[in-house]
Amino acid sequence: MTAVSQLTFDDLTLGYERHPAVHHLTGTVEAGALLAVIGPNGAGKSTLLRAIAGILPPLAGTIARNGLDPRDIAYLPQIAEIDRSFPIPVFDFVSTGLWRTRGAFGRIGEAERGRIGHALSAVGLNGFERRGIGTLSGGQTQRMLFARMLLQDASVIVLDEPFNAIDSKTVEDLFALVAHWHGEGRTIVVALHDLDLVRARFPQTLLLARTPVAWGATAQVLTADNMLAARRMCEAFDDHAAACAAPSRAA
């Protein structure tokens, strides 16, 4: 069986106001892959994930999603822009994960309520249904976001540092969900900093430092040489940088 490439980056350059944050990335993520994206702060991890989710258009190059609409990709941003003071119960918030099937008008019937209940118990939020979202702790909020993602039932899942500032028990529970999704053959891309977790659980790793440093099997990517190389890449934009001379096909 030959693997299908779910995400294909072709000479992809991403950035803000012409400054590249991800520079000349080429490669493929196979369908069903569990890929860790690592690198120092400012390496372009979040930028790459935003582009995969279709929120950030490329400066140059292309992302092919194997025919998938970007809106069918489940994307968890690093800092969710949730208005936690909004008076809405957890149950209603999580139900928005059904958007792609229920849309703006679809009825949330008995079957859907059942699915929402299942998603809430899968993340360990039983009994929180009627609580306001503002009353949840950081870890509980993350569990709630995972519950919504469960309902999205997406074939490609993109998580931006989902385990930051989360206790080990919650990380364990939430990673169990990621592993479960992996088992179901979904394609999962996760940006994170916890190298132990990457070594233990992620078969594939992309080490990014604006330009891709290494991409492949985790053991071969996480070498001392590669890590040193990544750290050396400068973080700051140069305001006077010249236009990139590398041959690039326009987007």
Partner 1 sequence: MIVDALFSPFAEFEFMRRALVGVFALALGGAPIGVLLLLRRMSLVGDAMAHAILPGAAIGFLVSGLNLFAMTFGGLIAGFSVAILAGLVTRDTELREDATLAAFYLISLALGVAIVSIRGTNIDLLHVLFGDVLAMDGATLMVIAFNATLTLVVLAVIWRPLVVECVDPLFLRAVSRAGAPVHLVFLALVVVNLVNGFQALGTLLAVGLMVLPAGIARFWSRDITAMLAVAVAAAAASGYAGLVLSFHTRVPAGPAIILVAAALYFLSLVFGRAGGLWSRLFPAPHLEA
Residues that bind partner 1 (CB under 8 A): 53-55, 70-71, 73, 75, 77, 80-83, 86-89, 93, 96, 99-100, 103-105, 132-134, 148, 152
Question: Can you list the pairs that 196-201 forms with residues at least 24 positions away whose Cβ atoms lie under 8 Å?
Answer: 197/163, 197/171, 198/36, 198/38, 198/222, 201/34, 201/175
**Spatial separation of the C-alpha atoms in residues 190 and 246, rounded to whole Å:** 29
Instruction: Determine how β-strand 211-217 pairs with β-strand 204-209.
Output: antiparallel
Report the C-alpha gap between 185 and 164 in whole angstroms.
25
C-alpha distances in Å from residue 81, one per residue of 46, 77, 108, 141, 145: 14, 8, 25, 12, 12
Shortest Å distance, C-beta 26 to partner 1: 25
SS3 category, 66: coil
Strand partners, 206: 37, 215
Phi, psi of 37 (to 5 degrees): -110, 115
The number of angstroms, rounded, from the C-alpha of 117 to the middle of its chain's C-alpha atoms is 24
C-alpha span between 109 and 98 (Å, rounded): 12
> How many Cβ atoms are within 10 Å of 2's Cβ, its own excluded?
5
